[in-house]
Each structure stands twice: as structure tokens, then as C-alpha cells.
């Protein structure tokens, strides 16, 4: 996108060109970047600075309406539509979904970290709840087909794509398994970062949204949807950067994220932060802006 609406001042809404916006003082950029909208569908937008690998500064959005002219047809859009359709079918046709944390998505490729762990989890769930997965990946005995409901399986990348595209997953009653013994209703598990708040006893949730920018030391990520929520990454920064090929702050601007985490209030209660569960990278996925 070459232009973006800025509604920082509701009484003086302004349209910035990317050439104008990138020349603003850094302090002004950091103030206004939380208030950018697509000029066509008026969904939340982001600003990404020029990066070391040659990408030019730009505006973009991870929330474009499907018919938005700024959301240009591409192989990425086609793949996202296929993913959304697949997950929507799960929501309406399956009885439960197992999050496959073993399916690790990097910036370059998809790799199976430990398929045996995933299969062990499915076996345990089947034994406890008599659930089986549809779609031919995990087939029950013929005698059990009529008696047993369906258990689907998806990785974090597919779930993030679906959530960003506004599917019904986040508001559904579908049972979501985060392990063999822990299950949640989807509407109670998936929380957009704009609605994040500390939970009783620090219970985790699956938080998702988009990233605005990082601090200068690259120790914190700042979600675009809520200025008073931060994501500290110092404890796993190097591994995270290696997995998602992050070299500078511009690489994460506009990225989508999903993470299994605790929401914890700061001591003065003025801010809150999302602490990755066990600081384990299997519980986080980033989808960098194209």
C-alpha cells in the first residue's frame, strides 16, 4: 500500500503517503503507527520500515477484506483462502481439534519436529475420549466410525491465518486440545491481543494479533492492537530470530503472531505483557509481512 489513513486525531483524520510517513521523526512514527487503516477497506494497517535485505518502506494490512482492491490476488492469497476454508470445515464438521505444536513453521520451510509426539497425543485422546480424526489422516476401525466423533489436527500457522482472516474459529464452541489432557472451548482459548487481560491463577490463553514494532534493543515486541501490552522475548530471542530469519526490527513490523502464553500485569498495573509458556518456541508462530 502506498497510502494509509491515520485516525490518531478523530477530528483531523489524515491520509499519509508512504513517502511522507517514512520521513516523519521516529517519535512521531511510533505515536501514529497504532492508528493506521487501509484506505480502501479501512481495516487495521501497519507501517514497515525499509529493511536490510532491500525491501522498501511500505504500508500493509493483515486484516484486508477479501474483496479489498489493496489485497491483490496472489499465490499467498490463494493459499490463505484454502487454509481458511479447511479450518472452517473443521469448525462446522468436527467435534474437536488438536493443536499440533510439533509442526514447526520457519521463515523458509515447514518441518516436522516430532510427529511421534503428536501421534502419541492423538492416541491418548482417543483412549480417554474415544475421539478420532477425520480427513483420512487418523482412521478408526470401521466398527467405530459411526460411534466416534471427529478429531482434527492443525498447526499454529494455519490457525493464525484463519484468525487473521476473521473466521468463526475464535467465537466457536469447538473443543480445542492443547495437550492430551487439556481442552478448551475455542471461544475461551483464542484471544485477540486487543482483548488480553490477566487471568485467574495465570491461566494461559492462545493470544494472536499483529506486531507493530520492536524496541531498539530488540528485546520486546509491541502488538499493533494494544499499546499497553508488550511481549518480552529476551529469554528466547536468539532462537526465535534464527527460526524466523529476523535480522532487524523492520523484519517483524506487520507480522502476524500467535502464542500460547500467560498475560501478566506490570507492578504498577499500567501495562501488561504476554509471557510465552515455558519460554518454549513450539508455542509461538510468526507470519512475517510479505
Read off the pLDDT of each residue in 62-82 and give the average, rounded to a whole number.
80
- According to the model, what pLDDT value does residue 51 have? 81
Give the model confidence (pLDDT) of 237-282 as tens digits.
999 999 999 999 999 999 999 999 999 999 998 999 999 999 999 9
203 burial via Cβ count (<10 Å: 0-12, 13-18, 19+): exposed
Mean model confidence pLDDT for the chain: 86
Which helix (H) or strand (E) segment is 157 a member of? helix 156-164
- pLDDT range class, residue 180, cuts 50, 70, 90: confident
- pLDDT range class, residue 143, cuts 50, 70, 90: very low
Give dist(CA 184, CA 166) in Å, integer: 20
Please give the full DSSP string across 74-121, using - where no structure is assigned: -HHHHHHHHHHHHHHHHHHH-SEEEE-TTEEE-SS-EEES-HHHHHHH
Give dist(CA 19, CA 13) in Å, integer: 18
Give the model confidence (pLDDT) of 49-65 as tens digits.
888 777 788 899 999 88
With a pLDDT cut of 90, the percent of the chain lying above it is 61
8 A C-beta contact, residue 216 and residue 168 = no
Between 209 and 166, residue with greater pLDDT: 209
Residue 136 CA from chain centroid, whole number: 27
Give dist(CA 46, CA 251) in Å, integer: 12
Rounded to two decimals, the pTM is 0.76
The grid coordinates listed for 103 are 509442526
Amino acid at each position: 500500500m502506498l497510502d494509509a489513513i491515520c485516525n490518531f486525531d478523530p477530528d483531523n483524520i489524515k491520509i499519509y503517503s508512504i513517502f511522507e510517513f517514512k520521513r516523519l521523526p521516529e517519535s512521531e512514527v511510533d505515536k501514529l503507527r497504532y492508528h493506521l487503516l487501509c484506505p480502501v477497506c479501512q481495516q487495521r494497517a501497519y507501517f514497515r520500515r525499509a529493511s536490510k535485505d532491500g525491501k522498501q518502506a511500505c504500508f500493509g494490512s493483515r486484516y484486508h477484506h477479501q474483496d479489498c482492491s489493496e489485497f491483490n490476488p496472489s499465490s499467498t492469497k490463494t493459499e490463505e483462502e484454502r487454509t481458511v476454508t479447511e479450518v472452517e470445515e473443521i469448525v462446522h464438521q468436527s467435534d474437536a481439534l488438536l493443536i499440533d505444536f510439533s509442526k514447526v513453521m520457519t521463515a523458509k520451510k515447514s518441518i516436522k519436529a516430532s510427529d511421534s509426539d503428536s501421534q502419541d497425543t492423538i492416541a491418548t485422546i482417543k483412549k480417554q475420549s474415544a475421539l478420532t480424526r477425520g480427513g483420512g489422516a487418523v482412521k478408526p476401525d470401521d466398527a467405530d466410525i459411526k460411534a466416534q466423533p471427529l478429531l482434527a489436527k492443525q498447526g499454529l500457522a494455519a490457525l493464525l491465518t484463519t484468525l487473521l482472516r476473521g473466521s468463526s474459529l475464535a467465537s466457536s464452541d469447538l473443543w480445542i486440545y492443547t495437550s492430551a489432557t487439556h481442552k478448551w472451548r475455542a471461544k475461551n482459548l483464542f484471544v485477540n491481543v486487543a482483548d488480553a487481560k490477566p487471568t485467574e491463577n495465570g491461566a494461559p490463553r492462545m493470544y494472536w494479533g499483529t506486531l507493530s514494532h520492536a524496541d531498539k534493543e530488540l528485546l520486546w515486541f509491541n502488538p499493533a492492537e494494544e499499546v499497553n501490552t508488550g511481549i518480552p522475548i529476551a529469554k528466547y530471542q536468539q532462537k526465535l530470530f534464527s527460526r524466523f530469519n529476523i535480522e532487524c526490527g523492520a523484519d517483524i513490523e506487520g507480522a502476524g503472531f500467535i502464542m500460547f502464553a500467560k498475560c501478566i500485569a506490570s507492578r504498577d498495573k499500567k501495562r501488561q505483557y504476554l509471557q510465552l509458556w515455558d519460554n518454549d518456541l513450539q508455542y509461538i508462530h510468526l507470519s512475517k509481512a510479505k
